[in-house]
Amino acid sequence: MKYFRAITALLLPLLFAACEFEETDLGFPKTVTFTNEGGEMIVTSEKGVYFTHAEIHDYKSGDNGATTTLEDGRECNTYKWLKVEYQRNSNDIKILSEPNEKQSRTLYVELYSGPQYHVIKVAQKGSN
């Protein structure tokens, strides 16, 4: 039993270290900007990297979007004024923004590919 505890104590930190995600450049833009009128754009990895899922995050509040599956099988993550639509294991993503009648705003889209992820800052200008 002593040996089991000793081995577990040594291996447990390695298990947690192996599960960490690392931010890296997957070939997607670092920033996209919408006018206050909103709209949509498709961004593609310049490196041809495929990602498994995407999440919208509000780094100020710590909240993030909810993912649903659309009728055609694509995934959709929505949070506040922003929506992303994508097919799992693809290298492009559609980003959609609602119109903005207030001040400028920012959210972040995290794209995951294995243990790596890429962050796209999505900014939208205000009506001022």
| Residue with token string 């993030």 | 64
Look at residue 5 in the predicted model and tell me its pLDDT.
56
Look at residue 127 in the predicted model and tell me its pLDDT.
83
Alpha-carbon dihedral sign for residues 48, 50, 54, 58: negative
Q: CA-to-CA distance for 66 and 47, rounded, in angstroms?
A: 27
- Looking at the domain that runs over 21-124, which CATH code has it been given? 2.60.40.10
What is the pLDDT tens value at each position of the chain, 128 positions in all?
A: 555 455 544 444 444 444 576 888 888 999 999 999 999 999 999 998 888 999 999 999 999 999 999 999 999 999 999 999 999 888 999 999 999 999 999 999 999 998 899 999 999 999 86
Structure tokens at 24: 């890296």
